[in-house]
Amino acid sequence: MKEEAAELKTVLEDKYDLNISFKFIDVNTEEINEYPDISSLLGRVHLPLTAINGKPAFHGGLSADLISQAIDKAKQDNI
């Protein structure tokens, strides 16, 4: 999963000229405790879970196209 996330990160950083923040969190480590809103969902979703602006957006797979569309919409909504 970490390798897929690294590939996705490269695609998104190339598309958005590094104007995004991307972080991979291993839910089996203590690091997940820093995200209580996300960790509370883990029993109800299929990993991987993608959050955009701290809010869960997708689960069960990594799609650069879908994630890009959601980022574009989030950027548009914040204008």
Task: Please give the pLDDT value at position 79.
Answer: 59
The domain containing residue 17 runs over which residues? 2-77
pLDDT (tens digit, 9 = 90+) per residue, 59-69?
Answer: 999 999 999 99
- 53 pLDDT more than 80: yes
Residue 23: C-alpha distances to residues 38, 49, 54, 64, 77 (Å):
13, 12, 11, 15, 22
DSSP 46: P
Task: Please give the pLDDT value at position 28.
Answer: 93
**Overall number of domains in the chain:** 1
Alpha-carbon span 29 to 63, nearest angstrom: 24
User: Phi/psi of residue 59, each to 5°?
Assistant: -145, 155
- 78 pLDDT more than 90: no
